[in-house]
Amino acid sequence: MPTSNFLVTVSGPDRIGVGAELFGALTSLSEIGVHITDVAQITIRGALVLCAEVSTEKSISVGRVQEALEERDIASGGISATVEMVTPSDVSDGRRLLVTFLANRIGAPQLAAVFGAITNSAATCERIVHLASYPVDCYELVVRGNDHAALREALAAVATASGLDLAVQRAGLHRRSKHLVVMDADSTLLQDEVIDLLADECGCAAEVSAITELAMSGEIDFAESLRRRVRLLEGLPVSVLDTVRSKLRLTPGAHTLLRTLRRLGYVPAVVSGGFVEVLAPLMAELRVDYLAANRLQIKDGKLTGRLLGEVLDRPGKARALQGFAAEVGVPLEQTVAVGDGANDIDMLSVAGLGIAFNARPLVQEHADTALTVPYLDAVLYFLGISREEIEAE
């Protein structure tokens, strides 16, 4: 015998006891073979929409289900309760994706564009969560569809046209598992470039800045560019390292990001083309236990203009992320990398989720998503963490 499916919708001003009344009514129907297959609810400013899908292999009419609701007197106080026979969705067998998008403000035009892309990709939205309303607007959608490639392409086009930062990820239990979140230091966790501050102290800022720009744009090899810049620092007293460290400014949202990651059991780490001698004391203050960076050679209390060991360059950053993941016991698909420069590209590519943070177009092309807002804690939204959870003590 074919299965009959009914959608029961309860809507109106929310009040205590509505859920109990609905499920009590459906309990009475279970005696004649009706069982619940799905439930969803949303309440916005006291307005309730509660839906239950029920199924049966027996011959039961819409009217019989409606009678059960009326017996419980659900439709009172401005609340309505309707029943309709439904058929399974055309995309019911499709896999779910998580679509997260944010901007300084998101209005009806941006939402219309996103949902238009979903519709045009023959997909459907099953759930909408408003993750944050400040300092940015952020929404997360659960989308079900069969053609993920078409959906990603359509959403990417909408993001570009509408000025949205958008990520599309697979849905699943991995979102609730421990993650390793690896950040670049200069111009990501920090607002500053450490070597530029060192260059200010030795009076070679212009020369160092020119080499830095070439390296960050990917025009010259990072390892060679770093050696050239460090050579210009020869003779600086070691006390300069403390001076520079005191001048470092954290990116807005950095403290919030680190605090929230630790509280939720995630592991923060820093992989930097900068220098251990400057960063290690700061990471200890920030309670970041995992750091990989370059080392300066120091003799007789002065910088020699040389580096110790191999340069932590673009491939080296990716290897460092992989090493930390193995040490922490986190699979690569549960790692997140955040960076802004060309030397971060391999790290962004190897991570489960690579986020280009206020980065050049070259870097954005190699990342899974890009953040163009100035707040580093916006990374948390791509992990499905809401503003309410961030601010919870």
Q: What are the catalytic residues?
A: 184, 186
- Residue 291 DSSP label: E
Packing angle of the helix pair 239-247, 276-286 (nearest 10 deg): 50
Question: In the structure, how many helices (H) and strands (E) does the chain have?
Answer: 14, 15
CA angle 37, 11, 108 (to 5 degrees): 100
* DSSP 8-state code for residue 233: T
To which H or E segment does residue 63 belong?
A: helix 62-71
Q: Are 131 and 175 in contact (CB under 8 A)?
A: no
Instruction: Dump the DSSP string for 359-378.
Output: --HHHHHTSSEEE-SS-GGG
Q: How many other β-carbons are positioned within 10 Å of the β-carbon of residue 243?
A: 14
Secondary structure (H, E, C), 174-215: HHHCCCEEEECHHHHHECCCHHHHHHHHHCCHHHHHHHHHHH
* The two three-digit tokens of residue 392, written as one number: 């919870």
Task: Give the strands of the sheet with 124-132, arranged side by side.
Answer: 124-132, 137-145, 95-103, 165-170
Strands 4-13 and 47-56: antiparallel
List of residues 6+ apart from 233 with CB closer than 8 A? 195, 198, 199, 202, 204, 296, 303, 305
